[in-house]
């Protein structure tokens, strides 16, 4: 971990600032945002904000400092490099930008397990961004602080434009991480998700050295103490499906799996709100009506200031950021035991994967490394409709190391725990995107409940001829036709063509992992003679 003097860096920012607010509470931050004209209160007291041109992450503008620590360890095919001198210039220019301005400082924690913890200080010119990160990380006093918590400093200057010639950036936007000193500079974007994901990226780099598997997943715990993990990219249902009144939530997005069990990296939720309803997602809907919840790019209904979650005129990537404490059922301390069940979520845009399938440990690692889903509209700039994509470990943009590092750790954890692993498709059936329909959430919840309860143990299953995994032949309360996607298509030939295409894409994608990866656990193309 870093031995850099973070206190000196923070002091420099404070001494140059016109004023400093240290660990301001939500009422003060809400008032400051409103006074600055950057936020508006909804009818229920949430803070509505806009992020301008950036309504999603900018992965092509993310950089890692290339130095002695990162040179041979970072997966450079997935990460853009920045020279140490360019990063130092960026820090100095960012701090110069803050000089003479009012700065909001928040001192927070990342990591509910004191043995694997980060002391994160965020310094920003924006009150609503300070509120956002206070909602999402762990507030002081919520969990014990570890005696050796690693220091992290994030300099957040959304109105500052980086200089490509001076800073080595692509544009005026930069999310730059120095892994050796645990410093982050975020410039040229108002999208608040960049702050939380920069913390996750630091964790993903350092955690394996401490024997911890970093995971882009949600987690909850059942009545018998049975922990379940839900992997998946944005929009696949991590937050929605892990919010279950009968299963207290450990966390909705970022976790670590140590030998002792699972712990949450965060203290809040960053939930998608597009087409949110009280009927389908009551816990999340209620959270959007709490004072100081931050609503990103949610359109308000006229003078009433009531959120219109069906209005996607700004983006489909509308979000709500709120503390875990506002939810009705949360696991104490943000920790859970060794997982009993692992669920991989995918939104299959081709409409050929079954709604649920049991994976062998080898298949689990294969699908973990593949990370197949549909990239949901609005999650990244330029994405206007779902597109098939592969994102290693269900979160490649946040994985600085080669996916094989995380894959090998998952294989070890699955072997040690004996956890059952399921692939749950929350995407399309009866045809691909634009032809078929999205699998309804009630069906998905029924299938998930059957997997978590052990109901599917011993249920007769068929082996999928292309993908090799085991698909239950029947599940109480679920239309049997849905379990065999080929039966939901009007044309069997069209289904076969789409399924062969997807199987081919899996195989093509997996080539990049090299001969050491277990490609045999993946799909096999159907032979024409068959």
Summarised one tens digit per residue, pLDDT across range 52-75 is 999 999 999 999 999 999 999 999
> Of these residues, 55, 121, 239, 443, which one is catalytic?
239
- Alpha-carbon distance of 432 to 233, in angstroms, equals 19
DSSP string, 230-287: EE--TTSSHHHHH-BTTB-EEESSEEEEETTEEEES-SEEEEE-TT--TTT-HHHHHH
Q: Cα–Cα–Cα angle for 41, 44, 48, nearest 5°? A: 35
Q: What is the largest CA-CA distance in the chain?
A: 75
Output the CA torsion sign for 282, 435, 353, 480.
positive
The model's pTM is 0.92
> Of these residues, 61, 113, 252, 253, which one is catalytic?
253
> Of these residues, 62, 66, 181, 197, which one is catalytic?
197
> Is 57 tagged catalytic?
yes
Nearby residues of 501 by Cβ (< 8 Å), 6 or more positions away: 350
Q: 381-419 in b/e burial notation, b at 16+ Cβ within 10 A?
A: bebeebebbbbbbbbbbbbbbbbbbbbebbbebbeebeb
pLDDT for residue 528: 30
> Is 239 tagged catalytic?
yes
pLDDT for residue 237: 85
Summarised one tens digit per residue, pLDDT across range 410-469 is 999 999 999 999 999 999 999 988 889 999 999 999 999 999 999 999 999 999 999 999
> Of these residues, 105, 139, 196, 216, which one is catalytic?
216
CB atoms within 10 A of CB 89: 17
SS3 520: helix
> Is 134 tagged catalytic?
no
> Is 253 tagged catalytic?
yes
Low-confidence ranges of the chain (pLDDT < 70): 1-2, 374-386, 515-517, 524-530
> Of these residues, 10, 66, 319, 466, which one is catalytic?
319
pLDDT for residue 3: 75
C-alpha distances out from residue 350 to 54, 163, 429, Å: 28, 41, 8
pLDDT for residue 235: 73
DSSP 161: P
pLDDT for residue 529: 26
> Of these residues, 62, 238, 255, 381, which one is catalytic?
238
Tokens representing 14 are 């404070």
pLDDT for residue 527: 33
pLDDT for residue 433: 83
Tokens representing 72 are 């041979």
> Half-sphere exposure (CA, 13 Å, Cβ side) for 152?
30
pLDDT for residue 1: 47
> Is 197 tagged catalytic?
yes
DSSP H helices, 57-136, are 84-98, 127-136
How far is C-alpha 451 from the geometric centre of its chain's CA atoms? 23
> Is 22 tagged catalytic?
no
């Amino acid at each position: 971990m870093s031995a850099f003097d973070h206190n000196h860096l923070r002091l420099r920012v404070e001494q140059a600032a016109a004023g400093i607010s240290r660990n301001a509470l939500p009422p003060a931050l809400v008032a400051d945002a409103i006074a600055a004209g950057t936020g508006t209160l909804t009818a229920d007291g949430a803070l509505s904000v806009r992020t301008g041109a950036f309504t999603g992450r900018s992965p092509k503008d993310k950089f890692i400092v290339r130095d002695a620590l990162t040179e041979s360890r970072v997966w450079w095919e997935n990460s853009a490099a920045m020279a140490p001198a360019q990063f130092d210039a960026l820090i100095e220019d960012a701090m110069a930008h803050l000089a003479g301005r009012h700065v909001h400082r928040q001192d927070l924690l990342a990591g509910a397990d004191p043995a694997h913890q980060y002391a994160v200080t965020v310094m920003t010119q924006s009150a609503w961004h300070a509120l956002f990160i206070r909602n999402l990380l762990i507030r002081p006093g919520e969990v014990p602080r570890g005696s050796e918590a690693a220091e992290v400093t994030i300099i957040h200057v959304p109105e500052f434009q980086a200089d490509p010639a001076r800073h080595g950036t692509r544009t005026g936007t930069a999310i730059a991480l120095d892994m050796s000193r645990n410093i982050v500079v975020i410039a040229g974007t108002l999208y608040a998700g960049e702050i939380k994901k920069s913390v996750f990226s630091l964790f993903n780099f350092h955690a394996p050295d401490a024997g911890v598997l970093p995971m882009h997943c949600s987690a909850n715990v059942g009545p018998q103490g049975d922990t379940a993990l839900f992997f998946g990219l944005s929009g696949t249902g991590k937050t929605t499906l892990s919010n279950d009144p009968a299963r207290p939530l450990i966390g909705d997005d970022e976790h670590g799996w140590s030998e002792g069990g699972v712990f949450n990296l965060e203290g809040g939720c960053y939930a998608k709100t597009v087409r949110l309803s009280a009927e389908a997602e009551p816990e999340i809907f209620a959270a959007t009506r709490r004072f100081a919840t931050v609503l990103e790019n949610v359109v308000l209904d006229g003078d009433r200031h009531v959120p219109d979650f069906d209005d996607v005129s700004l983006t489909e990537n509308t979000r709500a950021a709120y503390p875990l404490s506002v939810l009705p059922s949360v696991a104490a301390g943000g920790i859970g035991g060794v997982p009993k069940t692992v669920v991989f979520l995918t939104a299959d845009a081709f409409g050929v994967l079954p709604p649920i399938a049991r994976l062998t440990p080898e298949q689990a690692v294969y699908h973990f490394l593949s990370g197949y889903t549909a990239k949901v509209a609005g999650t990244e700039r330029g994405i206007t409709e779902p597109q098939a994509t592969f994102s290693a470990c269900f979160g490649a943009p946040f994985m600085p190391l080669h996916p094989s590092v995380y894959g090998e750790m998952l294989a070890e954890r699955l072997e040690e725990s004996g956890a059952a692993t399921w692939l749950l498709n929350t995407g399309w059936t009866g045809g691909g995107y634009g032809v078929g329909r999205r699998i309804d959430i009630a069906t998905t919840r029924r299938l998930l409940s059957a997997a978590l309860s052990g109901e599917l143990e011993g249920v007769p299953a068929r082996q999928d001829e292309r993908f090799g995994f085991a698909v239950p032949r029947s599940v109480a309360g679920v239309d049997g036709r849905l379990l065999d996607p080929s039966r939901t298509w009007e044309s069997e030939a069209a289904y076969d063509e789409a399924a062969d295409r997807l199987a081919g894409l899996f195989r093509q994608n997996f080539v990049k992992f090299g001969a050491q990866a277990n490609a045999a656990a993946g799909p096999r193309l159907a032979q024409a003679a068959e």
